[in-house]
Amino acid sequence: MSWLLKRIVRLYPRAWRERYEEEFGAMLEERPASVSDVYDVATGALDAWLFPQVIHERSVALIGSRMRRSVLLVLWAWAGVMAAGVGFQKMTEYEDFVRAAHESAPVGVAFDAIVVGALIALVAVLAGGAAIIFAALRNAIGSGRKDVPLLLCVPPITAGIFVGYVLVLVRVVDPIFGDPAVHDPVNVVLFVSIVVMFMLAVLASTASVSAAVGRSGVGERLYRFALYPAALAAVAMVVVSAATVVWGLALWVQDPALFAGDDGILATPTAASWLVVVAVMGCSACTAVAAAVSGFKASGYENEPI
């Protein structure tokens, strides 16, 4: 596996390799290569291109960047779980699913676990991100940089645009077309447009926050603090993913006809919609866990010679 690591290291920017490749390679050769190392080195290459920094202090470059990368990956993973969760909520808001949750304890408990897990993940992300964003703004203002504050303005702006778009559809467009059927082309186009606008808002917000944090020069201490709420968020994402799996299996047992019906998103097969939600949540949760583990491993190297 060491040959694969060397190949991946060659993907780092030239400036980074000129400064760190030799010592970074020596560090990798100190122990047998593992899948975790491949993950760390690969995401490190992405981080080096997104946030090009050649810092004279090696510990900051190799350890601080890994912790920052871990925190930001958890943020991206949370965005994926949130997007899938919105689809799940849209599907389960119908009366048949509400009734199934009331009639079956496993279905109801699983749904409640999804809601609680999602709320815990949200609080954890906000708790870990607030300190970093505040420090990023303070550093940017102190150094006279305008790009970081502008980037941090993107999330509220995109949220406002999305809410405004939905209000226009509800108050202006819907009255014009009346109440179209589920599979009516107008209804499909409007629903897809909302999904696209939502995904663009999530991607733009997450990317802008990532870019702002990467440019702000936030110290290792804050990233080390943010690893704890990031780990809590990762655990909450695992709970949400597992509860979604349990919800689907319990619904299958409780009401096979409903599970096999076409009550999914836009009247698609329920099972197919559920599987897509589970797949997105599962991949996002695994990414969050791997990122958190990688971040704690990096923080453990603080007092070790590199």
Which pLDDT belongs to residue 64?
A: 59
Kindly tell me if the per-residue pLDDT of 301 is higher than 60: no
Q: Which residues contact 122 (CB under 8 A, 6 or more apart)?
A: 78
Kindly tell me if the per-residue pLDDT of 60 is higher than 50: no
Q: What does the domain layout of the chain look like in residue ranges?
A: 73-293
Q: Which has more confidence, 28 or 237? A: 237
Task: Please give the Cα distance from 163 to 295 (Å, whole number).
Answer: 35
Query: Do residues 288 and 235 lie in contact, with contact meaning Cβ atoms separated by under 8 Å?
Result: no
Rg of the chain taking only CA atoms, in angstroms: 22
Using pLDDT thresholds of 50, 70 and 90, give the confidence band for residue 182: low
Using pLDDT thresholds of 50, 70 and 90, give the confidence band for residue 61: very low
Torsion of CA 8, 11, 12, 13, to 10 degrees: 170
Which pLDDT belongs to residue 49?
A: 63
Which pLDDT belongs to residue 58?
A: 44
Q: Quote the tokens at residue 251.
A: 């619904």
Which pLDDT belongs to residue 50?
A: 57
Which pLDDT belongs to residue 133?
A: 87
Which pLDDT belongs to residue 2?
A: 66
Query: Do residues 234 and 284 lie in contact, with contact meaning Cβ atoms separated by under 8 Å?
Result: no
| Percent of the chain residues topping a pLDDT of 90 | 34
Terminal C-alpha separation, the chain: 21
Determine the average pLDDT of the residues in 34-60: 61
Q: Which has more confidence, 102 or 59? A: 102
SS3 content of the chain, % helix, strand, coil (to 5): 85, 0, 15
**220-258, pLDDT tens digit by residue?**
778 888 899 999 999 999 999 999 999 999 999 999 999
Q: Which has more confidence, 191 or 236? A: 236
Query: Is the C-alpha dihedral spanning 117, 154, 204, 69 positive or negative?
Result: negative
Which pLDDT belongs to residue 212?
A: 83
User: What is the residue-averaged pLDDT of the chain?
Assistant: 82
Q: Name which of 50-59, 167-176, 215-224, 230-239 the model is least confident about.
A: 50-59
**85-96, pLDDT tens digit by residue?**
988 988 888 888
This prediction has a pTM of: 0.73
